[in-house]
Chains A and B, each alone.
Chain A
């Protein structure tokens, strides 16, 4: 079969992205226009501003992805777009644009679930490296600013199947990083800056107890292979408590004056780098940051490996923006090796939101001729099934 070039478009949150991927296994171009500078003053993504930026950026970003791939609108075989989940207004820009392109070109349009995209980012890169031997079933942890989900993924004859076996009950893990960075005035986004600062602190300084998830497993989730002999078993996450614990620590240790001083210093800098932030942090702050990250990593790794054991999976995927965290990667590599499980991560550019993963996830649907109609719309809470 001849190669198929798919143009992917992704606008689910704060990155306007377009990419061309060949036959689901080679990234030909991958363009991401980040909006960090737009959202930086607010310490988090502002949905309306994100949507406005997408509308301005979508044409130049898609043009660049085509140019860098040596392709044109006319030469690609299909278009793929993120349908959800994500910010409704942001998703709608990509969906409306992609639908109009597909209609004008008379080319097939493929709707892709953003979470499925993150899972396929791992497969795409493994195939690119020549590894076609990923064993199934796979347990995929999709962990980012908007998501903390565990999926059992399997490749069937008629395409991919996904079963959600765990998710956060409140904040996403990446959201906790952002919120703690905001509490401590470390800048935005919180994940990369905390990752860098944590290397300079004592990880054992502050003890954050793990979140205890109360209640029984949600019906129909996490029970397929768990069996009835494990009542109360759940693979859910919870990260709102640790944020409150950090706040309490700040208050009881009188850290506010130092934080306010740093906030003022950062306000005068334009998008400061982590090294600049490091100079504004005292020992106590660095220790708190390192301890917070250790607790987050410990919880994510512990719960995921526990689920992997209970569900008897063959392979682990760790993907999404938080998968770029260096301590998380090291911990997963170490712990998964001890458990005898192969663990795969995307490279850092494909960990965060991008459109190559959308074009890659579209490829099996392209082969199955699973195309979207022109009545396609965005779905902010689209489940992955």
Chain B
């Protein structure tokens, strides 16, 4: 199964082309996307990655896309492109949450708290358990946006926290948590998880595909509605 994976959720984007099935995974191509230029670079980089492997777009069997949380605009560039590709090529889509990918990458047995610096003194938090058989994560609670104090209050004693961000490590470590500091997962991890999700039938259609913003828009947070 040939998978195209896209991560446009953060300052630096990436895409990956991989082949795999229930037992194997082979990374064929990766490419990075320059922050601020995702829209300009994404489709040309997809075309180039396919061309380097002498593959044509019709050979892609499934798409994996990071759906959030992260840069609102970045996410939409990636997801709008996936919608367009799938409308024509007609293949399944799996979405991957960055928090879910962190939980899986942590290889923690049992409950794990995945946390991302959400800027503005806030944190994106997800609670997952990872199934060691399928290597898929099950969400225990809806992903949320918390203030730094609320994060500390949400973490039970001896919680295992996985994060790529120093700011969260600095906050969680003195609170007595078990900390796993790992690199932020990108398109390769998205391809691995997306492949397993597609094989498990956890897919979404092009019209239903949406971003997992977690954070509301500023207008909803700050505006006093009135006309």
Q: Which residues of A contact B (CB under 8 A)?
A: 40-43, 46, 48-49, 51-52, 54-56, 58-60, 62-63, 73, 88-89, 92-101, 103-105, 181-182, 185-188, 263, 266-267, 373-378
Contact = CB atoms under 8 A, between A and B. Distances in A.
Interface string B76-120: 111111111101110000000000000000000000000000000
Contact of A96 (B47, B80, B219): B80
B87 A103 contact: no
Q: Interface of chain A, helix or strand or loop or mixed?
A: helix
Given A42-B219, A100-B43, A52 B211 contact: yes
25 contacts: A42-B226, A46-B223, A48-B219, A52-B211, A52-B213, A55-B80, A58-B83, A59-B87, A62-B87, A88-B73, A89-B73, A95-B39, A96-B39, A96-B76, A96-B77, A96-B81, A100-B43, A103-B57, A104-B89, A105-B88, A185-B226, A263-B227, A374-B43, A374-B47, A377-B39
B219 A49 contact: yes
Given A48-B217, A100-B81, A89 B76 contact: yes
B44 A181 contact: no
Contacts of A56: 210
Interface string B199-227: 00000001100110100011110010111
Contacts of B46: 103
B227 A104 contact: no
B48 to A, nearest CB: 10
B73 A51 contact: yes
A96 B43 CA distance: 8
B168 interface: no
B227 A92 contact: no
Given A59-B83, A95-B39, A375-B44, A42 B213 contact: no
A60 B207 CA distance: 6
B152 interface: no
A100 B227 contact: no
A92 B84 CA distance: 13
Interface of B: 37, 39-44, 46-47, 57, 72-73, 76-85, 87-89, 206-207, 210-211, 213, 217-220, 223, 225-227
Contacts of B81: 96-97, 99-100
A48 to B, nearest CB: 4
Given A92-B39, A101-B84, A182 B227 contact: yes
Among B44, B72, B83, B211, which residue has the most Cβ atoms of chain A within 10 A?
B83
A358 to B, nearest CB: 16
B76 A92 contact: yes
Contacts of A46: 217, 219, 223
Contacts of A60: 207
A40 B39 contact: no
A55 B40 contact: no
A97 to B, nearest CB: 4
A52 B217 contact: yes
A101 B83 CA distance: 9
Among A60, A188, A263, A375, which residue has the most Cβ atoms of chain B within 10 A?
A375
B225 to A, nearest CB: 4
B80 A188 contact: no
A375 B80 contact: no
Contacts of B44: 373-375
Contacts of B87: 59, 62-63, 73, 101, 104
A185 B39 contact: no
B15 to A, nearest CB: 13
A377 B40 contact: yes
Contact of B80 (A42, A49, A63, A100): A100
A266 B227 contact: yes
Among B40, B78, B87, which residue has the most Cβ atoms of chain A within 10 A?
B87
A55 B84 contact: no
Contacts of B211: 52, 55
Nearest to B216: A48
A250 to B, nearest CB: 15
A40 B227 contact: yes
A69 to B, nearest CB: 16
Nearest to A376: B40
B71 to A, nearest CB: 10
A378 B219 CA distance: 23
